[in-house]
Each structure stands twice: as structure tokens, then as C-alpha cells.
Amino acid sequence: MIVDLIDVYYKGIARKDGWQEPLSNSFRFIAPGGRVTEGKGAYVETNSRFLRGVKATQRKEMLTDGNTACVWMSYQLVSPGGREISLDALEIWTGAENELASLTIYFDTAAFGAFLRDG
């Protein structure tokens, strides 16, 4: 079940449309460093800004256990100035009641920060 929800999410990310559909209204996002975003609307706003710079994605690996999944993703990002970077992320998902309930993400924040500064 969580596999199907995650598939809908990532297919929507690739299309830049429909990725919001499997998220619960009480969705919880935990960013690197522990910053928490509560609620579907707040996450959609935050993630929409990130998605503007996503050129391509690749799911490298996924492990599941019940309503939990761990996904190794690679994002090809493009800055407004045209600079590109490949950013790998580890994303830990939970599902509940046929929706995605939470996402905790880990990635190289120093490399991403440098990309944003130098972009």
C-alpha cells in the first residue's frame, strides 16, 4: 500500500503535478536539522519552491516494512542561473489510512547550501 502512495507522489514530482494527492491533511515534514513543517498546505508551499529547481529525479532504491518506506532518491537540480547539481537524499516515509502521513529527509545540506549561494 505505501508503495502505491509513494509511486503516485514521485510520478507527480516528475510531472510537477499531482504529487500532493496522496498527502494527508495532517502531513508532517521533518527537514535536515530537525525543522518540522506541519500540515499538507504548509508542506505543499515549501516543496513547490524546491520543485521549481528540479530538472530530473531518479529513485535508486526503496525498502519497505509495513507502513514505512525508506527511499534513496537522486535529484538533478538547476539554479536560476543555469548551474546544475546532483543531490542524493534519503527519504523516510510513513503512511496511515491510505495516505502519506510523514516524510523525514536527509541530504548533504552543505552542498545544497553552497549550490543555493553560488547558483
Q: From CA 50, how far away is CA 13, in angstroms rounded?
A: 11
Q: Residue 104: which residues within 8 A CB-CB, separation 6 or more? A: 29, 30, 91, 92
Q: From CA 50, how far away is CA 34, in angstroms rounded?
A: 18
Predicted local confidence at residue 96, as pLDDT: 96
Asked if the model's pLDDT at residue 104 lies above 80, the reply is yes
Query: Which letter does DSSP use for residue 82 in this model?
Result: S
Model confidence pLDDT, tens digit, residues 43-60: 999 999 888 889 999 999
Asked if the model's pLDDT at residue 77 lies above 70, the reply is yes
Q: Which domain holds residue 18?
A: 2-118
The domain that holds 15 is classified in CATH as 3.10.450.50
Choose between 1 and 71: higher pLDDT: 71
C-alpha cell at 62: 526503496
Domain count, the chain: 1
